[in-house]
């Protein structure tokens, strides 16, 4: 169990406890103690320092305005053009830290999405590993976390598929093993937006977890039998584990849920 709490401006007091309580209500239990990212900041910074010594990271003072040409946005503003790569940034100027992306092709076999090949330099450019506000970037922290927690299989939403080549690149630079990956469809509302607080989705119903689990199994195309609808939560989870079939999710990037409820 990992709590991503590095982005301190977005942390809400009590939210971590609420997450853990919700998981317990749904019968989802974790091994070992809870891993809080905020307790490992020194480790992240030590590794970043090593990368800096090896000249694999450089400071970047670019703002959004700096990433425009003649007042117009780039055709692909998400691709960093390397403006600061060969510059010497003054130490007292606020700056982010970017990792140098080389021209290697990152290729991996996703268990659901198939073979993925990605040219990091051309499709992303040098990406940020530490923000201007000195917060460690998600892309960097999770690579270290996965290694520290000995994660060997990652199942997550399709919306994070584009982040995976960056993380594999970091694994390769740091000499870390690469887990297996499966990116599953995300649940969206009727307008096609992922269910989240940002899209004002209502909170998951904690009063009837068995109904929520049954609905989720249906949304994920697992075809649960009707008699499972009123079964105890433990029976539902047992059935889901025994009958989980990711092949039913192939070629589906998102599934629609109504009413709008974050599940």
pLDDT for residue 187:
82
pLDDT for residue 81:
87
Mean pLDDT over 16-33 rounds to 94
Hey, what are 120's tokens? 């990091």
Q: Hey, which CATH number is domain 2-184, 3.90.1150.10, 3.30.830.10, 3.40.309.10, 3.40.50.620?
A: 3.40.50.620
pLDDT band at residue 251, thresholds of 50, 70 and 90?
low
Q: Which of 33-42, 77-86, 222-231 has the lowest mean pLDDT?
A: 77-86
If one compares 238 and 91, the residue with the highest pLDDT of the two is: 238
pLDDT for residue 87:
86
pLDDT for residue 68:
66
Task: Kindly report, as residue ranges, where domains of CATH 3.40.50.620 are found in the chain.
Answer: 2-184
Q: Do the beta carbons of residue 257 and residue 263 sit within 8 Å?
A: yes
219: enclosing H helix or E strand: helix 209-219
Asked whether the predicted pLDDT for residue 261 surpasses 60, the reply is no
Mean pLDDT over 47-55 rounds to 96
Q: Do the beta carbons of residue 186 and residue 194 sit within 8 Å?
A: yes
Q: How far is CA 117 from CA 19, 81, 125, 184, in A?
A: 35, 21, 15, 18
Mean pLDDT over 233-240 rounds to 96
Beta-strand relationship, 153-157 and 2-3: unpaired
Supply the pTM of this predicted model: 0.88
Asked whether the predicted pLDDT for residue 190 surpasses 80, the reply is no
pLDDT for residue 206:
92
pLDDT for residue 205:
85
Q: Do the beta carbons of residue 221 and residue 255 sit within 8 Å?
A: yes
Per-residue pLDDT reduced to its tens digit, 147-188: 999 999 999 999 999 999 999 999 999 999 999 999 998 888
Asked whether the predicted pLDDT for residue 41 surpasses 80, the reply is yes
pLDDT for residue 77:
61
If one compares 88 and 224, the residue with the highest pLDDT of the two is: 224
pLDDT for residue 189:
76
pLDDT band at residue 263, thresholds of 50, 70 and 90?
very low
Give the best-scoring range by mean pLDDT among 10-14, 111-115, 246-250, 256-260. 111-115
pLDDT for residue 195:
73
Distance separating alpha carbons of residues 24 and 8, to the nearest angstrom: 25
Distance separating alpha carbons of residues 222 and 237, to the nearest angstrom: 12
């Amino acid at each position: 169990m990992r709590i991503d709490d590095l982005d301190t401006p977005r942390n809400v007091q009590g939210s971590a406890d609420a997450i853990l309580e919700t998981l317990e209500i749904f019968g989802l239990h974790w091994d070992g103690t809870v891993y809080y990212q905020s307790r490992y900041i020194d480790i992240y910074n030590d590794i970043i320092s090593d990368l800096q010594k090896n000249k694999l990271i450089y400071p970047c003072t670019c703002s959004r305005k700096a990433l425009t040409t003649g007042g117009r946005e780039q055709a692909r503003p998400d691709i960093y053009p390397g403006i600061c790569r060969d510059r010497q940034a003054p130490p007292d100027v606020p700056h982010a830290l970017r990792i140098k992306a080389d021209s290697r092709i990152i290729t991996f076999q996703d268990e659901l999405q198939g073979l993925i090949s990605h040219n990091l330099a051309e499709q992303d450019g040098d990406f940020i590993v530490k923000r201007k506000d000195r917060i460690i970037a998600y892309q960097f922290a999770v690579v270290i976390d996965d290694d520290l927690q000995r994660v060997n299989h990652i199942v997550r939403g399709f919306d994070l598929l584009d982040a995976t080549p960056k993380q594999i690149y970091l694994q390769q630079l740091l000499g870390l093993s690469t887990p297996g990956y499966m990116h599953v469809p995300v649940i969206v509302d009727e307008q096609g937006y992922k269910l989240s607080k940002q899209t004002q989705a209502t909170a998951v119903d904690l009063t009837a977890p068995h109904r929520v689990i049954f609905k989720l199994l249906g949304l994920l195309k697992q075809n649960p039998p009707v008699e499972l609808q009123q079964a105890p939560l433990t029976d539902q989870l047992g059935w889901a584990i025994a009958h989980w079939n990711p092949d039913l999710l192939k070629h589906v990037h998102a599934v629609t849920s109504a009413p709008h409820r974050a599940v």
